[in-house]
Amino acid sequence: MAKGSSPDYMFEIAARHGGALRIAGVDEVGRGPLAGPVTAAAVWLNPDAIPHGLNDSKVLTHARRIDLSAALFEVADVSIAHASVDEIDDLNILRASHLAMVRAIQGLRILPDFALIDGNIIPKGMLCRAEVIVKGDMRSLSIAAASIVAKVARDAIMVDLAQQHPGYGWETNAGYPTLAHREALKNLGITPHHRRSFKPVYQML
């Protein structure tokens, strides 16, 4: 893919040519943080009502993500799901991420018959045919849409948790291991929302 190019609808068109009727994009956010759930979203885009400006959530401003997420809820079939901190610690982060993805697909109003998934491994327990796309949030409009919805949803959760557990900076770092977050871990200790299987946390236990 050329540098600076935007996601397009070509993967969805190819899936349709392969016989799929309803194609959902799936992405997750929150593999790297030390705290909070991992969140996935599944989005079926109406081909006749695709919001303008969909892109990998990481290249969009916070305000633009909020606007696009709201627009998607109006015109698309959208589902958000999570895997909890306990599930992350029990399963490992990859399996927990896949669990959240499968839950997101299950939560759509109409179950898709094909899923485009960001990554390189098809999650176990998929209820439909699927294709994995490396850097899919930069290449597929449906996956880009899912990346936006998942990011907005998880950020909101971390802002809420930051009010319950002030001092860790979750309202700005979303639980990622920034210097301020790691310093707060040393000074304030571990909360119930920290992932105990992650090295900086379990080293303190």
Angstrom distance (rounded) from CA 89 to CA 94? 11
Q: Taking Cα atoms as reference points, which of 69, 102, 5, 109 lies closest to residue 117? A: 102
Instruction: State the average pLDDT over residues 174-199.
Output: 97
pLDDT in tens, 131-154: 999 999 999 999 999 999 999 999
**pLDDT band for position 205 (cuts 50, 70, 90):** confident
Residues in the chain: 205
Angstrom distance (rounded) from CA 117 to CA 140? 9
What is the average pLDDT score of the chain?
96
Is a pLDDT exceeding 90 seen at residue 60? yes
**pLDDT band for position 2 (cuts 50, 70, 90):** very low
Task: List, in order of start, the domains of the chain with CATH numbers.
Answer: 10-157 (3.30.420.10)
**pLDDT band for position 5 (cuts 50, 70, 90):** confident
The DSSP bridge partners found for residue 116 are 25, 131
Q: What is the pLDDT of residue 4?
A: 54
- The whole-model pTM stands at 0.96
User: Tokens for 61?
Assistant: 């401003």
Residue 62, number of CB atoms within 10 A of its CB: 11
pLDDT in tens, 91-124: 999 999 999 999 999 999 999 999 999 999 999 9
DSSP, collapsed to helix, strand or coil, labels residue 95 as helix
Q: What is the pLDDT of residue 1?
A: 43
